[in-house]
Amino acid sequence: MDLKNNLQQLKDHVSQQIHDAKKIDQVEKIRVNLLGKKGELTKLLKGLKDLPNEQKPVIGKLANQIRLMLEKSIEDKKKDLNEAFFEKRMDSEKIDVTLPGRRPEIGTKHILQQIQDQIEDHFISQGYEVKYGKEIESDEYNFERMNLPKDHPARDMQDTFYITKNILLRTQTSAMQARSMDQHDFTKGPLKMISPGQVYRRDNDDATHSHQFHQVEGLVVGKNVSLADLKGTLQSLTDELFGKGHAMRLRQSYFPFTEPSIEVDISWNLVDENTAPEDIDWIEVLGAGMVHPNVLRMSHLDPNKYSGFAFGLGPDRFAMIKYGIDDIRNFYFDDIRFLKQFKQVGE
Ligand code: PHE
């Protein structure tokens, strides 16, 4: 009878413990205390053998029922606690899909790249090819083929960074003139190309000079190409880029590779026919001219049959005029507040 009572008490006591448990490892401890080798139920069952024979099956059955029942409530409790744990976690980690996301900041094309793109688009629409040259050039193409032999005094205007005696950081995209003429098949028609890129000079940086800046070279070579074609070409470019209010002025100039040579100024300010000449602020934006016969000859073209015009423009200065920027160094400081102002439409 004692054993039966003890079993009943154990059942009530352990059921209560299971009910009160708050964590899975507590439940596991209860299980071990009850059913382990030294567990309480195991201990009680050892008393079975001392019972009178007729009681053995009855108490044995009871003990078994209690064991099964407690095992089941231990498993159920574990399951409940596990579920509760996950539910709590799901609640705390809930994602509110209706919250607006954080937009990644998308950069914008550098203002100089935008200007270069506009210039490229303009010329592509007129049937020009775009050729990208190399910033490291040979003395031959940068100077000699441009009619600037080794000791030519005009080289002084374009001192640069030398890598070896004959390899240098190009001072002008004009090197691409000779390279394009070398490659072009003139039996198939005229050569029309532009070549944008960076150039280098040993210049002291100031508001309108930078030791590294950009140029877009232009070259048209064919039959009967004239200075009037050059003027019309430049006029249509500046009209498109700046709108019609900016005046253009051609000045006589000198470059060893063009004859005659001109320089082109654009007015900073908007002008009309009533603006007095002294009220116009000019800035030089490009050099140009008719391709020198020597340059044609060096590219194996007969100057009596072929003529051409060339120009080299400064997109940095174009951007300064277009956006009213008064210091070229702004383009190269990479101050995000400056750059952010030039978001493209659609960005
Ligand atoms: N290469 C000249 C310069 O850098 C510009 C130029 C190009 C002039 C083509 C005439 C023809 O100053």
CB atoms within 10 A of CB 54: 7
Pairing mode, strands 248-255 and 258-267: antiparallel
Q: What is the pLDDT of residues 151-185, one digit of tens each?
A: 998 888 888 889 999 999 999 999 999 999 999 99
The arithmetic mean of pLDDT across residues 118-126, rounded, is: 97
Higher confidence at residue 188 or residue 51? 188
SS3 label, residue 287: strand
Q: Is the CB of 289 under 6 A from ligand 1?
A: yes
**Annotated domain spans of the chain:** 2-92, 111-342
**Residue 163 DSSP symbol:** S
Terminus-to-terminus CA distance in the chain, angstroms? 89
In Å, what is the CA distance from 314 to each residue of 126, 215, 217, 228?
20, 5, 9, 21
Q: Which residue has the higher pLDDT, 220 or 100?
A: 220
Q: What is the pLDDT of residue 345?
A: 56
| Percentage of residues in the chain having pLDDT higher than 70 | 99
Residue nearest to atom 9 of ligand 1 (CA): 311
CATH class of 111-342: alpha beta
Whole-prediction pTM value? 0.70
Q: What is the pLDDT of residues 240-251, one digit of tens each?
A: 988 888 889 999
Average pLDDT over residues 133-159: 93
Residue with tokens 């490229």: 120
Mean pLDDT check: name the lowest of 40-44, 78-82, 306-310: 40-44
- pLDDT at position 274 over 60: yes
In angstroms, what is the span from residue 165 Cα to ligand 1's centroid?
23
Q: Is 312 in the pocket of ligand 1 (CB under 6 A)?
A: yes
In this structure, the number of other CB atoms found within 10 A of the CB of residue 23 comes to 10
**What pLDDT, on the 0 to 100 scale, is given for residue 1?**
53
Cα of 332 vs centre of ligand 1, distance in Å, is 22
Q: Are 112 and 212 in contact (CB under 8 A)?
A: no
- Residue 288, ligand 1, Cβ within 6 A: yes
**With bands split at pLDDT 50, 70 and 90, how would you rate the model's confidence at 324?**
confident
**Band of the pLDDT at 134, cuts 50, 70, 90?**
very high
Tell me, in angstroms, the distance from the centre of ligand 1 to residue 311's CA: 6
Q: Whose CA is nearest to atom 7 of ligand 1?
A: 312
pLDDT at 346 over 80: no
pLDDT at 105: 80
Q: Rounded to an integer, what distance in angstroms lies between the CA atom of residue 197 and that of residue 159?
A: 18
What stretch of H or E contains 290?
strand 282-291
Average pLDDT over residues 333-346: 80
CB-based contact 234:262 (threshold 8 Å): no
Q: Whose CA is nearest to atom 12 of ligand 1?
A: 287
Q: Minimal CA–CA distance to 290: which of 245, 249, 347, 252?
A: 252
| Ligand 1 atom having least distance to the Cα of 177 | 9
**Contact call for residues 309 and 225 (beta carbons, < 8 A):** yes
Quick check: CB of 287 below 6 Å from ligand 1?
Answer: yes
Q: Which of 257, 290, 296 to mutate to test the pocket of ligand 1 (most atoms within 8 A of CB)?
A: 257
Helix (H) or strand (E) holding 33: helix 24-35
Decide whether any atom of ligand 1 lies within 6 Å of the 59 Cβ: no
Q: What are the residues whose beta carbons fall under 8 Å from the beta carbon of 80, sequence distance 6 or more? A: none
Percent of the chain past pLDDT 90, that is, above it, reads 64
